[in-house]
Amino acid sequence: MNRKPGSRSRRILGMTGKQLGMLAILAVLLLLVVLATLFFALDFFDGSLVPGLPIEPSTRTSGEVIGTPSPTAPGHQTSLSASNVPSWQGTETPGAVSTVHTSTPATQIATPSQTLTPPADICAMLDLRFLSATSNIAAWRLQNDSGVALTITRIEIDWPKSNDAIFNAFLDGKVIWSDEDLTPPTIMTTWIGDPEDRSVGRLSRVEFFFGTLAAPGGYDLYLWFENGCEISAAN
């Protein structure tokens, strides 16, 4: 039986149009499978998705490199800005966090130096004043405000010739010098009694015994002490 010319199916490469359509669909499906496989393989072998290793968030700040301290330099921290970091790529172990050691500089507190108060002038704290002339005795008041007991080592007194002679010197009622001098002035350096008898505390009384009535004026009295101080009074 003869077919009509219009009913004959066209063939390309020995395949009909229907077969070519099915082949195209299979090719597209195969391409999708290949793309999906590649995408899954890339994600599967990415360093952040290695099976069996926990994923931890990164503690680094963008642009900062933290060096691990070497054993010879404990407490040293290295921080480089992104502009000074050379361009390199390294392999890091996921989940490993570098230990950062910080050293706190020692704070030095300046201690103010102690100011020493210079000792007061002891000599300026001595005062000698004439008190009175009663009978054969002329008396002076000796005041010591230094707080330190001072010992008399020398006495020099110029007295009126009308007093005739000088025989004794007293400190707080104790005889510290005894002799006879008929001509003024009189210098006393040889003592009677112990050195404590010539020690001046807070307030003392110095007296001299003459051969006749003591004149009310005309005296120059000088006292020297073991520390080098000298004091005088004129009347």
Q: Do 127 and 230 reside in the same domain of the chain?
A: yes
In a domain, 83, yes or no: no
Using the CB atoms, write b or e for 175-201: b if 16+ within 10 Å: bbbeeeeeebebebeebeeeeebbbbe
Instruction: Supply the pTM of this predicted model.
Output: 0.51
Q: For 172-230, write each residue's pLDDT tens digit.
A: 999 999 999 999 999 999 999 999 999 999 999 999 999 999 999 999 999 999 999 99
In a domain, 43, yes or no: yes
Q: For 113-123, write each residue's pLDDT tens digit.
A: 665 554 568 99
**Beta carbons of 157 and 222 less than 8 angstroms apart:** yes
Task: Read off the CATH number of the domain in which 183 is found.
Answer: 2.60.40
In a domain, 189, yes or no: yes
Which of 28, 47, 66 terminates a domain? The answer is 47
Strands (E), the chain: 11-12, 15-16, 65-66, 79-80, 126-134, 137-144, 150-158, 166-171, 174-181, 186-188, 199-200, 203-210, 220-225, 230-234
Q: For 99-146, write each residue's pLDDT tens digit.
A: 555 566 566 665 656 655 545 689 999 999 999 999 999 999 999 999
Question: Total structural domains in the chain?
Answer: 2
- Please give the residue range of the domain that contains residue 204: 123-234
**Tokens 């005062």 sit at which residue?**
127
